[in-house]
Amino acid sequence: MISKLHFDSHLFDLEVGKLEGVNKNFRAEHNDLIKYDLVYVFCVTKIDDLDNQLVDVKLTFQLEIDNLKKQFIADKNEQISEFNIDKHDFISLKNLAFLSGTYSRFKLDKNLPSNSFYDLYSLWIKKSINPEYSDKVFVYTLPNQKDKVIGFVSFKIENDIGTIGLIAVDDEHQGLGVGKSLLNKLFIYLRKSNVKLLKVSTQLKNTGAISFYNNYSFEESSRIYIYHLWPKKSHSINQ
């Protein structure tokens, strides 16, 4: 059964629904499909019949905090702090949020309204720095330019599980250990908070992120194939 996604529908000004738990034999002939402009289909196996509508292969990795090697959490970097709207430049943070979504399905699906990706990620990073929400954001700044954010990681903690939301380093400072320092800072915070497990999701196409997480011995815990169906567009084409 298709579930309507009210948040997505409102944000994108479309009728958006979601189908989960389908199997590889799924056929895009569901009677309820035509009620929606866009339907997300989530499956743990690839659906060959929908191959041309595959927009993402979402990989989720996890790491047990107690298994971290000591050298991974020994580095204390004074250039990293929690984001403060009165001290840090929000525009540079938002631009990094956009960078973190380079492989996002909301950016790659050209059927979506042109601003959909930017609206979604702008809202995501705004929520992440809002104390009303449980997220936190660690940012990396330079000694001579302490307001501009050149790297960041957002995360939230629920019970004893931490989840990374967004993480990125600007193009000019990649390969200099900024991402490693941010992750180390996060590890220190999670240990002090008695968090047992850290999770993070990325896209199969994002080989750089996968390699980064593998270096810290993250293990893949799930793989989800995500399809975007556009029933009304398909229906009009077939008429």
Question: Which CATH number goes with the domain that contains 116?
Answer: 3.40.630.30
Residues 204 and 86 reside in one and the same domain: yes
Residues 125 and 167 reside in one and the same domain: yes
Q: Residue 12: CB partners within 8 Å, gap ≥ 6? A: 38, 112, 113, 116, 119
Residues 54 and 65 reside in one and the same domain: no
pLDDT value, residue 134: 63
pLDDT value, residue 143: 87
Domain encompassing residue 11: 3-58+227-238
Residues 33 and 77 reside in one and the same domain: no
CB-count exposure of residue 98 (10 Å: 0-12, 13-18, 19+): middle
Number of domains in the chain: 2
Angstrom distance (rounded) from CA 166 to CA 1? 30
pLDDT value, residue 112: 97
Per-residue confidence of the chain (239 residues) as pLDDT tens digits? 899 999 999 999 999 999 998 888 887 766 789 999 999 999 999 998 899 999 999 999 999 998 776 556 655 677 999 999 999 999 999 999 999 999 999 999 999 999 999 999 999 999 999 876 667 999 999 988 889 999 999 999 999 999 999 999 999 999 999 999 999 999 999 999 999 999 999 999 999 999 999 998 899 999 999 999 999 886 544 44
pLDDT value, residue 181: 93
Residues 102 and 207 reside in one and the same domain: yes
Residues 120 and 143 reside in one and the same domain: yes
Residues 88 and 13 reside in one and the same domain: no
Residues 69 and 160 reside in one and the same domain: yes
Closest to 190 measured CA to CA, from 74, 65, 69, 61: 65
SS3 201: strand
**pTM of structure:** 0.91
Residues 49 and 91 reside in one and the same domain: no
SS3 58: strand
Angstrom distance (rounded) from CA 171 to CA 174? 6
Angstrom distance (rounded) from CA 7 to CA 60? 23
Q: Residue 198: CB partners within 8 Å, gap ≥ 6? A: 62, 63, 65, 161, 162, 163, 164, 186, 187, 190
Residues forming beta bridges with residue 226, ordered by sequence position:
42, 56
- Side chain identity at 191, as an amino acid letter? R
Sign of CA dihedral 76, 100, 172, 209: positive
Residues 106 and 209 reside in one and the same domain: yes
Residues 54 and 64 reside in one and the same domain: no
Residues 89 and 182 reside in one and the same domain: yes
